[in-house]
Amino acid sequence: MKRHNDQPLKDVLREMVEAYRLKPKLHQTKVRSMWEDLMGPSISRYTRDLYLRRKKLYVNLNSAPLRQELSLGKEKIRKIFNEALGEDYIEEVIIR
């Protein structure tokens, strides 16, 4: 007997993520895993910490010259990661 409330698994998972407010943690995990692939191993080597908080991407770096160079490309970094996430989630990139 077929039930009338059958839904695709994708829709059920999306509803669960929204109900339990898991989207920020999922995005943070995705950003951390994509950082080396999108930014390259040389930048990844100098990255001390990387986290998302309130739709802002915080990047802590060991190298002052690299920090200055990446500060000039904040908007480009934001666009790259928003494209990789598939939505316009990150509002600002803060480099420390």
Alpha-carbon distance 70 to 77, whole Å?
A: 8
Alpha-carbon distance 60 to 54, whole Å?
A: 17
Alpha-carbon distance 31 to 62, whole Å?
A: 19
Q: Under 8 Å CB-to-CB from 1, ≥6 apart: which residues? A: none
Which residue type, as a one-letter code, is found at position 62? Answer: N
Q: Using one digit for the tens of pLDDT, what is the confidence trace for 10-31?
A: 998 989 988 998 988 999 999 9
Alpha-carbon distance 40 to 45, whole Å?
A: 9
Total-model pTM:
0.84
Confidence check: pLDDT of 78 > 60: yes
The pLDDT of residue 7 is: 86
Binned at pLDDT 50, 70 and 90, residue 51 comes out as: very high
